[in-house]
Amino acid sequence: MDFRIKSIILWPKNEELAPRQIEFLIDKVNVITGASGKGKSSVISIIDYCLGSSKCSIPSGIIRNKVKAFGIIITLEGKEILIARAEPGISGVSNDFFKTEDKIVSIPTSVDDYPFSIVQIKQYLNTILGFADVGLTTNDYVQSFDTQKPSYRNAISLNFQPQYLVANQSTMFFKTDSTAHREKLKVLFPYLLGVISNKILELREELKGLKRQLGILIKDRDMKEYRLSRLNQELINYYRIGLEFGIIKRETDVEELDQDFLVQQLQLIATADIEKIRVPEHATQLAAEQLYSLNKRELESSDQLQDLGRRLSIIRSIQANNKEIGDNALTKKGRLSAVSWLQEKLDYNKPCPLCNSTTDHIGEYHKNLSQLLSEFEKVSDKVADSAKIYLNERKKLEKQITEKENEINNIRNQISALQREDGEFKRLKQNQNAIYRYLGQVELTLSQFQEYNNGLDTNDDKIIQYENSIAKMEKEVGNEKLKNRERYALNKISENIKKYALMFEAEKSGDRIDLDINDALTLKFFDELGTETGFWEVGSGHNHMAYHISTYLGIHEYLIGLNDNRVPPFIVFDQPSQAYFPEINDDKSVQEEDLIKLKKIFEVLSAFNTNTKGKVQIIVLEHAGEDSWKEYCNVIKTKRWRDGEDDDALIPKSWLN
């Protein structure tokens, strides 16, 4: 993707004056050199402001007082885009924009009409840069930062290194000193690195929709099953009453009723001759027997539930002990992790490298430690195997407990129904009108039962279809696949960072270097023993500056190799030389020793430009002068703003009168 800065344009409030244009080469390292107070550092703020920043960080004073509008010309895929934004005014920020695009844009002498809002400009830039219009979240319940849609505004964190940041030991990326920006970048980093593509985001969005529909179907099915269960219980109660009325002949125990048999018996009620109905003998005794049987079953099930609960408690205790044993074994393994490394690195026939003494016991000591390490590894393996067995047993018990609880609740519902309806239907048996009402209730309940029962089959088919579609789609956007892609990307970036850090001769550049994009958004270093060192623990401004530059270069060198890179390929560094000498007001005052250090910055930038074949534009804002980079043909002086020059500052002399 070609999205680079061709020029910066300032339109004066005095319309008799011509616009100020500062042009850059898009395939080189561009340097604006100059003294303090000349406006160099404002370049980052101007570009950021024109790209839709929510705040204006352009310094107040001369610049804002003299400029009516700020603009940039962007090159993109064979065309130019001019974006201008009105100066902030007393409100502190303006949301009024002007935009035009052409193969070669014409710069208007004045900008008076601002037909675009900041929202429209952001939408436009997101579209042309190919950012997806869906959030990165993978589930329905998320924190606010996880719902963010990817935007070029987040990608800008990888484009700027202002003066306060370029040698900062605590913050690596632009604007991530703010919690909100830091958390957004952590969420969006995998997308910016191409780990997550637009297709994956679209599939995730489709997957969320499928899961929502599946949830609706399952909820509907569960409600029907619950209603069906209640209707089934009502049918059982009506069956009992039918027995007491004498309409149904007892052919099986109520506890062993088959659902089809139950429905069949109740359907026969419609053909019953009510005139011949007589109360059967022992009906009351039968009801009492049923109640006794249910109470007995409830007691037995309660005892079984208590037994299952005790077994679950024992399993949980065993799991806790097993975990403690495993943790202890892992801790001891960690303490012995250097044993293998020592065996590879040390020659036991030679004197000790520390005290120069010799001994015959080192090999024996190492053998004992190796055996001990092997024992701990065996314990860890056994613990891992046991953990799987205990977990399966625990899940099995939890399932049995749930089933037993449901069984007890069902029995209790039957007991309550028997106790509640016994007196009511004894009264109903006294007249035929009551029997007619009973038959009507049975008919209605049967109709509802059959309606719900038939509806369940359709939902089950749909649920299976949705579950199959979801399973197939989850394979395409699976976390394991994305983790592998992320590891690959970070490994490549870390190799690039290391390459440039070695050129800087930075401390820890020989260690393994990891870019942490999930937590601290910084670098981590690991020596041969695996000891971790944080970026903030690496001393000196030289190291901090070297790793800031190396990190940005390493990321962009990786990104330009992607087919769908959406991070604009330009970087602006503001005064990286401050790591060596915070203030240089004369580019001829640099001492020879300091000049060697300073040249290293431009040597690295020149090498990066060569490695990337000029596909990433670099802009450097520097105090130091041409002696620092004149030997590198791909490092170009854009402006020299110093006293005595005709063009000595961002704001021309003619604007000050």
pLDDT(127) > 70:
yes
What SS3 string covers 580-646?
CCCCCCCCCCCCHHHHHHHHHHHHHHHHHHHHCCCCCEEEEEECCCHHHCCCCCCEEEEEEECCCCC
Q: Which two tokens stand for residue 586?
A: 């004369």
pLDDT at 320: 86
Written as one letter, the residue type at 34 is G
pLDDT at 255: 57
Same-domain status, 424 and 529: no
**What pTM value is reported for the model?**
0.68
| Number of domains making up the chain | 3
Same-domain status, 20 and 42: yes
Radius of gyration of the chain (CA): 39
What angle, rounded to 10 degrees, do the helices at 541-559 and 592-611 form? 10
Written as one letter, the residue type at 617 is Q
Same-domain status, 155 and 231: no
In a domain, 133, yes or no: no
Cα–Cα distance measured from residue 11 to residue 651, given in angstroms and rounded to the nearest whole number: 10
Same-domain status, 612 and 571: yes
Over the stretch 148-159, which tens digit does the pLDDT of each residue have? 688 999 999 999
Cα–Cα distance measured from residue 630 to residue 62, given in angstroms and rounded to the nearest whole number: 32
pLDDT at 145: 47
Same-domain status, 585 and 548: yes
Locate tokens 């619950």: which residue? 226
Same-domain status, 265 and 353: yes
The mean per-residue pLDDT over the stretch 521-530 comes to 91
pLDDT at 382: 82
Phi, psi of 538 (to 5 degrees): -85, 120
Tell me the pLDDT of the chain averaged across its residues. Answer: 84
Residue 549 is part of a domain; what is its CATH number?
A: 3.40.50.300
In a domain, 625, yes or no: yes
Same-domain status, 458 and 507: no
In a domain, 134, yes or no: no
pLDDT at 402: 86
In a domain, 532, yes or no: yes
In this structure, of 84-98, 393-407, 471-485, the range with the lowest mean pLDDT score is 471-485
Cα–Cα distance measured from residue 252 to residue 261, given in angstroms and rounded to the nearest whole number: 10
Cα–Cα distance measured from residue 118 to residue 54, given in angstroms and rounded to the nearest whole number: 9
Residue 271 — very low, low, confident or very high, per pLDDT cuts 50/70/90? low
In a domain, 137, yes or no: no
In this structure, of 135-139, 225-229, 527-531, 607-611, the range with the lowest mean pLDDT score is 135-139
Over the stretch 51-86, which tens digit does the pLDDT of each residue have? 999 999 999 889 999 999 999 999 998 899 999 999
Render 510-557 in DSSP notation, one character per residue.
TSEEEEE-SSSSEEEEE-TT--EEEGGGS-SHHHHHHHHHHHHHHHHH
In a domain, 631, yes or no: yes
User: Which residue has better confidence, 339 or 379?
Assistant: 379
CA nearest to 163, candidates 28, 49, 42: 42
What would you measure as the largest C-alpha separation in the chain, in angstroms?
125
In this structure, of 321-330, 396-405, 594-603, the range with the lowest mean pLDDT score is 321-330
Domain carrying residue 366: 218-473
Query: In 429-509, where does DSSP find H-type helix?
Result: 432-476, 479-504
Over the range 575-588, which residues count as b (16 or more CB within 10 Å of their CB) and which as e? bbbbbbeeebeebe
Same-domain status, 345 and 464: yes
Same-domain status, 276 and 329: yes
Domain-terminating residue out of 406, 441, 473 = 473
pLDDT at 587: 52
pLDDT(101) > 60:
yes
The mean per-residue pLDDT over the stretch 166-180 comes to 91
In a domain, 212, yes or no: no
pLDDT at 193: 94
Domain-terminating residue out of 456, 473, 490 = 473
In this structure, of 128-132, 222-226, 611-615, 634-638, the range with the lowest mean pLDDT score is 222-226
Written as one letter, the residue type at 286 is L
Domain-terminating residue out of 473, 502, 519 = 473
Over the range 311-337, which residues count as b (16 or more CB within 10 Å of their CB) and which as e? bbeebeeebeebeeebeebeeebeeee
Same-domain status, 343 and 453: yes
Over the stretch 465-507, which tens digit does the pLDDT of each residue have? 888 888 888 887 777 788 888 999 999 999 999 999 999 999 9
Same-domain status, 559 and 432: no
In a domain, 462, yes or no: yes
Same-domain status, 467 and 513: no
